[in-house]
Every structure is written in C-alpha cells, then in structure tokens.
Amino acid sequence: MISRTGRIRQRKVNRRYLSFLTLLIITAFLIGGCGKEPEPPSEESAVISPEKSVVQVKAGNAVGSAVLRGVNAEGNKIILLTAGHVLDNLSTGEYPVVVFDDGTEVPCDSYESSESADAAILTIEDIELAEKLQRENCFVKENRERFDSMQDGDPCIAIGGGFDGEKSVCTGEILDNWIYMEDYAQYMIWAEVEIHPGMSGGGLFDSEGYFLGILSGGSEDGQLAAVPFSLILSEFHNSLD
C-alpha cells in the first residue's frame, strides 16, 4: 500500500518527468524541424554571379562582349545579347565568334541587329553547350519588376570583357534610368560607372545581379550609356518570346 505522502511524491516525480520530456520534444522540434528536410533556397534568394553570364565576342577585327540571355523554347539554340555597333566590322557572310570563359571559341549561326537601337541578338545552335550552360547557371537573371522599380541613385554593376580576354567589373550608380540621348537617338540608361575598351555589349546589372541593360558606350569622365532591358524586349519581342 502506498501512503498519501508517497502518492504526493510520485506525482511530483511524474510531473518533473513530463516537464523534462516536453522540453526534449520542443528542443527536438526547434533543432530538427520536426523531421522535415530544409527546403532549398528559392531562385530569388540564391546568390547571383552575373560575371558568368558575360562572354567575349570577336566580330571581324573588333572585340566586344555579349550577355548569355538563355535558350529558345526547343532548347537547341543559345541566345546572346550584345551592342549592335560591336558587329559593324563584320564582312558579308562573316559571323561573330563567342569566346567562353574556358577559352572555347564558338562561331554564331546567325545574328540580328536592331534598326533603331544599339542592340543585337546572336544565336548558337548547340544542344550540348546549351545544356552545359544551364547546368552551370550561366544565363543572365531577369526580373521585370526589379527593372521597373529601378531608381536614380541606385547602385549598379557594369561587366564586360577586355581586349586581353579578362573581365572587368566596375561599380557605380544610376544617374537617370530613362533618358533620351541624341547621340543614340533613343532612350538609354545613364550611369556613373567607368568602363573600358572591349566592354561594349556587356551587361549592366543592379546590386543583386539582375540584368538592367546592354553596355553601349562610355565617356572619359566615367559615365556610361546602356540600352535598357525593356527596350531590348520591345525590339526583339518575336525572337525573345
């Protein structure tokens, strides 16, 4: 027979045991997520490396840059964007050559230049290369909402190749996100960023690495003009859908 005092002691021990057990369960839940595996980071939260999306372009005796935009719907064509003037020195029947980071040179199968903007599209038909670039996350990241929310004074990054094949990464800020420039006879992005020869056709990105436009030209006082992403979509809407 258990006395009243014994029953009281037993209840106290049981309460301590239950409290201890409850604490263990809560701790396990907080640490282990109740047995669930952690979800992978979303595309928006993943670290973006825009340098990987910029390559060198050889066009006749000219050297410029281009941005890896993506692949077509069939997945057999790589689509690149560059500045139209980079292709000005091509002879009839000649095609641009894209130089990738590993030194591989691949001739383009076709190209198309805009008649009203300093922009052009290059295409390479190579399924294996397209799959490789997708696996390595080399294509530029686009977000129309981020582009539309761009403000004067926002930080930006200009990336392009040089004549020696080395990439240049230059930082600065947006001076005007939509300004008409007589020299180009079109609306451009104007930014305070110093760029170097060979960077034409490269990319302008926001501080998080999202694509803003194509580098078109620079001045001696450290300013550049870029063809806006929205204008490129408008010019080549049939090819970029």
**What pLDDT score was predicted for residue 162?**
80
Looking at residues 154-172, what average pLDDT do you find?
92
Burial class (CB in 10 A: 0-12, 13-18, 19+), 92: exposed
**Is pLDDT at 95 greater than 70 in this prediction?**
yes
Q: Is 201 left (phi over 0), alpha (psi -120 to 50) or beta?
A: left
DSSP structural state of residue 141: B
Domain end point (choices 107, 135, 163): 135
Mean pLDDT (the chain) is: 85
> What is the number of structural domains in the chain?
2
Q: What DSSP line would sit under 64-93, residue for residue?
A: EEEEEEEE-TTS-EEEEEE-GGGGTTPPTT
Query: Do both 55 and 125 map to the same domain?
Result: yes
**Is pLDDT at 42 greater than 90 in this prediction?**
no
Report residue 163's pLDDT band, with 50, 70 and 90 as the boundaries: confident
Q: Is residue 189 part of a domain?
A: yes
Question: What is residue 230's three-state secondary structure?
Answer: helix
**What pLDDT score was predicted for residue 92?**
93
Q: Is residue 226 part of a domain?
A: yes
Residues in the chain: 241
Q: Is residue 31 part of a domain?
A: no
**What pLDDT score was predicted for residue 217?**
95
Distance CA 58, CA 60 (A): 6
**What pLDDT score was predicted for residue 149?**
96
Taking the chain, what is the end-to-end CA distance rounded to the nearest angstrom? 85
Q: Is residue 22 part of a domain?
A: no
Question: Which residues of the chain form beta strands (DSSP E)?
Answer: 54-59, 62-71, 77-82, 97-99, 105-107, 110-113, 120-125, 155-161, 167-181, 186-192, 203-206, 211-218, 224-228
Report residue 241's pLDDT band, with 50, 70 and 90 as the boundaries: low
Q: Is residue 5 part of a domain?
A: no
**What pLDDT score was predicted for residue 109?**
97
Query: Do both 148 and 77 map to the same domain?
Result: no
Question: What is residue 37's three-state secondary structure?
Answer: coil
Query: Do both 227 and 149 map to the same domain?
Result: yes
Domain end point (choices 91, 114, 135): 135
Find the domain containing 67 and state its range. Answer: 50-135
Q: Is residue 163 part of a domain?
A: yes
**What pLDDT score was predicted for residue 133?**
97
Residue with the two structure tokens 């890896």: 68
**Is pLDDT at 152 greater than 60 in this prediction?**
yes
Query: Do both 106 and 148 map to the same domain?
Result: no
Distance CA 147, CA 216 (A): 18
Report residue 7's pLDDT band, with 50, 70 and 90 as the boundaries: very low
pTM for the full model?
A: 0.81
| In the chain, % of residues over pLDDT 70 | 80
**Is pLDDT at 90 greater than 70 in this prediction?**
yes
The alpha helices in 50-159, defined as continuous H runs, are: 127-135, 144-148
Q: With contact defined as beta carbons under 8 Å apart, do 62 and 83 qualify?
A: no
Query: Do both 170 and 230 map to the same domain?
Result: yes
| pLDDT tens, position by position, 98-109 | 999 999 999 999
Top-confidence residue, 37 or 93: 93
Query: Do both 150 and 233 map to the same domain?
Result: yes
The residues, any chain, with a CB within 8 Å of residue 169's CB and separated by 6 or more, are 51, 157, 158, 159
Query: Do both 181 and 123 map to the same domain?
Result: no
Domain harbouring 117, CATH code: 2.40.10.10
Domain end point (choices 109, 135, 161): 135
Looking at residues 201-217, what average pLDDT do you find?
97
Q: Is residue 11 part of a domain?
A: no
**Is pLDDT at 221 greater than 50 in this prediction?**
yes
Query: Do both 70 and 91 map to the same domain?
Result: yes
